[in-house]
Amino acid sequence: SYVLTQPPSVSVAPGQTARITCGGINIGSESVHWYQQKPGQAPILVVYDDTDRPSGIPERFSGSNSGNTATLTITRVEAGDEADYYCQVWDSNSDQYVFGTGTKVTVL
Amino acid sequence: EVQLVQSGAEVKKPGESLKISCQGSGYSFPNYWIAWVRQMPGKGLEWMGIIYPGDSHTRYSPSFQGQVTMSVDKSASTAYLQWSSLKASDTAMYYCARRQIGPESTVNWFDTWGQGTLVTVSS
């Protein structure tokens, strides 16, 4: 089945930019979605269809997708952005939903 | 407001059965697929399966096929996940999530999540 690989952790200072990658074979041809999960909470959607943001999600969150890598970018990082982040695709070949391995973002 | 509200935490013994629930509100429940997602302690998200409340059509992840059963009660706007014989390895948080679909059917994501149901299986 389709595999999505994320770095286990990313550290960033407040006010700086965090970039979280999601690697998969030819992922650029897929639609990628991103979820934020804070400790003890359910995941929430922060980016869908590669680049779109649900209402209520700050513009600081943006997505891109090309080639074998999709990226979630968080600009002007705040302490409240500290969380686990997961990418997700629907694998049409197997008709399965696939989550990435997850990335823990730490704000220094 | 679209909401999914899940049933409360459960503590069970190995071999016992269990059915947890996920009630939708604020939208037309029959028209949106509901997925179940497992999160084992300290681990990532795993898709278990998905059910369409309109006709109870289901699709399971191969990893969970035969291990759990999904069902719905349309009249109660509620989806269920059940086990016939729990194992210690079923200890996890279980989330339900509503599937949303984009302009193309190949573009779909989970736009609303329940708060989670913690299942603990221990002798």
* Residue B20: closest CA among B5, B33, B3, B31: B5
Average pLDDT of the residues in A25-32? 95
Note whether B44 contacts A99, CB cutoff 8 Å. yes
Nearest to B109 among A33, A84, A100 (CB): A33
Q: Give one DSSP letter per residue of A42-108, joined into a string.
A: --EEEEBTTTB--TTS-TTEEEEEETTEEEEEE-S--GGG-EEEEEEEEETTTTEEEE---EEEEE-
Q: How far does A37 lie from chain B, in Å, by closest CA?
A: 10
Q: What is the pLDDT of residue B52?
A: 96
Model confidence at B103: pLDDT above 90:
no
Q: Are strands A103-107 and A69-74 parallel, antiparallel or unpaired?
A: unpaired
Section B54-77 average pLDDT = 96
Per-residue confidence (pLDDT) for residue A23, from 0 to 100: 98
Quote the CA–CA distance of A43 and A34 in Å, as a whole number. 10
CA angle B89-B90-B91, nearest 5°? 90
pLDDT tens track for B14-38: 999 999 999 999 999 999 999 999 9
Residue A47 has pLDDT above 80, yes or no: yes
Partners of residue A31 in chain B, C-beta under 8 Å? 102, 104, 106-109
